[in-house]
Amino acid sequence: MPHVDAEMLPVPSTAQWVETAFAKVNLALHVRERRSDGYHALESLFVFAEAGDRLSGHERFDGMVSLRVEGPFADALDAGPDNLVMKAAHALQAHMREERGAAMVLTKNLPVASGIGGGSADGAAALRLLVRLWNVDIAPEMLEEIALSLGSDVPACLASVTQTVRGRGELLQRQTVAGLPGTPMLLVNPGIGVSTARIFGAWDRIDRGPLRAADLAELIAEGRNDLEPPAMEAAPVIADVLAALRSCEGVKLSRMSGSGATCFALFDTDRHLAAAAVALRARHGHWWIAETRIRTE
């Protein structure tokens, strides 16, 4: 179906459905090799923050799918057919041969191109919302297949639970790491976006070994983000963010997420989290800083 702006056609007043597109955070990201299909073989531990974008929608009976984007980062995102929310809607609509449409509103709270899966989480939230909105009967495996066609991180974002992710994102395994759920977490972005393709292209192609995360101590001691060096070379301010986070009291772990530029810190207590947020906002008023927690499953 073609993209039509919500203002162009009347939309019946129907029940509204809401989904949260939870921010995805890579607590570790190991790049193992470049595959023959051009994708990189990855090993990562994904957790999801309580913070995220908000997607709402209601049914349209004219078959059209429309999207409006609002919120603090709306200006950085296009609402046209290339938006992952629109792609998800059209993919599910085509697969189910669904004749109904949807009018959706995305409140963009997360920065764009920031390494915390904002677009992927939005696409996954759209799939979850439309499965409920249209009351479609689809096997979980098929929904994951549709999600993977949208992007490597989208399948993991469907469930938005702590999981080990391998391959290009299609090999998922739920993971329990004692002490992680509910952990206070600070997300910081210095106000820049970086190109995922550029960062992966600059990876040094050295396999530094598999990911082991049986517990938090092992994750801290042996985990890493192999994309931090090329990301810091492309955007030196990322090193400044990591240094600022690691200097805060009560930090258990701090790394860059994904291909950047957002970084995170896990804290011992809510008090430490709040104090760090106050201090960083005072020194770096232009940085995006979000106080949140690791989502409890």
Task: List active site positions.
Answer: 24, 153
Cα distance between residue 200 and residue 41, in whole Å? 11
Cα distance between residue 99 and residue 103, in whole Å? 14
Nearest by Cα to 271 from 294, 291, 286, 246: 291
Which residues sit opposite 253 in a β-bridge?
266
Q: Which residues contact 163 (CB under 8 A, 6 or more apart)?
A: 45, 46, 156, 172, 173, 174, 175
